[in-house]
Structure 1
């Protein structure tokens, strides 16, 4: 799910706005990009609104008089059991009904669908934000940073249950927090805004970023994207204010800092650019997953010593992620140190919580101990 755009190409020269200082309210309400468009692509109500087909599906597969445990089991089985629903994951952001009809979407799309259906059959369910390792992807000259959302079902008499349709993104060790429906809608409209921005539909992008901020003014990714949009369209002063507003709500928002640094570099303000770049670099080097990304790059380039250095630093900061130990084991193996490779592969197996991961590492450890076939 792409929710924060890291950097973009600049299309026009900057705009000088007389002597009147630009405020966050002006960016949000009186922007030169606002035009006649207002509100997001859909209404608030539409996001979780059930279609008649969804209601019929629930009536067919769910016993509405059953207890919570059974209803949850029936709902999950109806949606993902026996491949009857055939969900396909893509980058599109859809409403609950849109996801049900197309059987496609991203984590917000599927979570919208599940939350709407679960609430309709009487389950208490909330949205969750999940902290996942940073995942950057390229779209032309734009870099996207993904975040993750799933659902948490309150089972009252039992432990709460997490429902996540993207098992590749979810790890039980990742920190998560319940969020309000308003913040979930902020995620939704922000995503839609990104889709429009990538399609060069600036008016619609602005309207959806605006709606995202109206849903939750403290949602800093939408402020960052609002800044990126204005910078792309040639309004650097508005962009600067939007980035600063993002930092007001999240002082450690590295995307806001990075974009400010790029903006100041373009404007010939090297001291300000260096100040923000140094803060970005300082915080990133303290992030175990940034170290993991550096290690991955070094590994792929054959610099195993550099990979090992970054992985050991990452493990000092987070010692409960088996992926770090696994890559460290591979790095030692490729550098020719089989004993260290075995030691760290065993550690990966110990740290792994999921049975399938433990089996995977156990198998690779056996291969290291008894060479004869590849990893």
Structure 2
């Protein structure tokens, strides 16, 4: 109404010069193409040649040199940053990146070094963070490298990602969709909805079967005041991934806001059934029990998590902690030995040190 009243006043006062038209708002910059995302700057390519390629040797030797080049301070000295959703060039300039940026860089450099490299996705991980009023659930990607019949994984966060699933090989289009969807989510949080929509459209063009992008598109539609379109995007997410937690939670909230209690309860029951089958749900409950000092409940929930998935060393280590607080040192030792058998080398050594301390106490 205010804009209409102002316009009417101006038309009734022709003697006053009209206000100049506001400058046109430039269109949002186009999202980078696959070629731009994977592009290796000339200086980085030269460093790769000098530190990885020039010495020749076998594919295994080049892969080992590549990993050292990326992580050692004498090379790139890359560091992890959870919101560092960068192109290869941006990651090189900042020496930072999230798991996707590390993956993009590793693939680009490995291919430039003559190795057969590809992306791998783990769609179910225990990983999330919050900013403002937005809760982010994240999947995880890393790099696969095939040398003859052997497959290797290069992962910046292998010790901090909890998952019950092996990585699945994905094509470059899926990596591109993840990149654009991540950028869209960041822009959405900043309130830059038009730019977010541009990146979201690019994500869906790259891979229309990427369920997380449809879920993010639904959140964007909600922020834009289009709840009916959001509902369709959330339902599309579940069509592609019937157990997508975020889409079920978003639909439950959407139906609650509409007052549609029947469908709200339907999705809340689906969420609860999914949690009952999710070992990480019980792991998180056990951690909360530990914080509250209820070690009996913690041990029970760690055992439930292990019953659903025995292959995660952190479940067994948590159970060992609970048993230690309960004074059951024999069971604590058994749980710690199982944790050690499942852990990677560095973590296994830490568990061994804890076992040695128990033995020195005669436990």
Is TM more than 0.5 here?
Answer: yes
Instruction: Note the C-alpha offset of 1:221.
Output: 0.4
Aligned residues: 336
CA gap of 1:120–1:192, structure 2 versus 1, over 3 A, is: same
CA gap of 1:166–1:205, structure 2 versus 1, over 3 A, is: same
Instruction: Note the C-alpha offset of 1:52.
Output: 1.3
CA gap of 1:302–1:233, structure 2 versus 1, over 3 A, is: farther
CA distance in 2, matches of 1:171, 1:277: 24
Q: Which residue of 1 aligns with 2:355?
A: 365
Deviation string 1:46-94 (CA, Å, 9 cap, x unpaired) is 0111111122212322336543223222322222235432212112111
Which structure ranks higher in relative contact order (CA pairs < 8 Å, sequence separation ≥ 6)? 1
Q: Which residue of 1 aligns with 2:338?
A: 347
Residue 311 (structure 1) aligned with residue 309 (structure 2): no
CA distance in 1, matches of 2:267, 2:78: 42
CA distance in 1, matches of 2:328, 2:226: 55
Instruction: Note the C-alpha offset of 1:271.
Output: 1.1
CA distance in 2, matches of 1:237, 1:354: 47
Instruction: Note the C-alpha offset of 1:353.
Output: 4.0
CA distance in 1, matches of 2:164, 2:238: 27
Normalised TM-score (structure 2): 0.86
Residue 285 (structure 1) aligned with residue 276 (structure 2): yes
Residue 118 (structure 1) aligned with residue 110 (structure 2): yes
Q: Which residue of 1 aligns with 2:90?
A: 98
CA gap of 1:88–1:317, structure 2 versus 1, over 3 A, is: same
Q: Which residue of 2 aligns with 1:213?
A: 204
Q: Is the 8 A contact 2:63 2:110 kept in 1?
A: yes
| Aligned residue runs from structure 1 range 197-212, under 5 A | 197-212=188-203
Deviation string 1:133-152 (CA, Å, 9 cap, x unpaired) is 32121211111112111111
Q: Which residue of 2 aligns with 1:41?
A: 31
Tell me the SS of whatever aligns to 1:108. Answer: helix
| Aligned residue runs from structure 1 range 252-267, under 5 A | 252-267=243-258
Q: Which residue of 2 aligns with 1:229?
A: 220
Instruction: Note the C-alpha offset of 1:371.
Output: 4.5
Q: Is the 8 A contact 1:39 1:208 kept in 2?
A: no
Which piece of structure 1 moves more, 275-284 or 227-236? Answer: 227-236
Larger radius of gyration: 2
Which runs of no fewer than 5 residues in structure 1 stay unpaired? Answer: 1-34
Instruction: Note the C-alpha offset of 1:345.
Output: 2.0
Q: Is the 8 A contact 1:131 1:175 kept in 2?
A: no
Tell me the SS of whatever aligns to 1:151. Answer: strand
Q: Which residue of 2 aligns with 1:325?
A: 316
Deviation string 1:243-286 (CA, Å, 9 cap, x unpaired) is 01111111111211111001101111111101001001111111
Deviation string 1:330-351 (CA, Å, 9 cap, x unpaired) is 11222343333233223323x3
CA distance in 1, matches of 2:159, 2:92: 21
CA distance in 2, matches of 1:79, 1:266: 48
Q: Is the 8 A contact 1:39 1:210 kept in 2?
A: no
Q: Which residue of 2 aligns with 1:130?
A: 122
| Aligned residue runs from structure 1 range 44-63, under 5 A | 44-63=34-53
Q: CA RMSD for the aligned pairs?
A: 2.3
Instruction: Note the C-alpha offset of 1:107.
Output: 0.9
| Aligned residue runs from structure 1 range 2-17, under 5 A | none
Instruction: Note the C-alpha offset of 1:40.
Output: 5.2
Deviation string 1:96-117 (CA, Å, 9 cap, x unpaired) is 1111121111111111111111
CA gap of 1:257–1:40, structure 2 versus 1, over 3 A, is: farther
CA gap of 1:132–1:366, structure 2 versus 1, over 3 A, is: farther
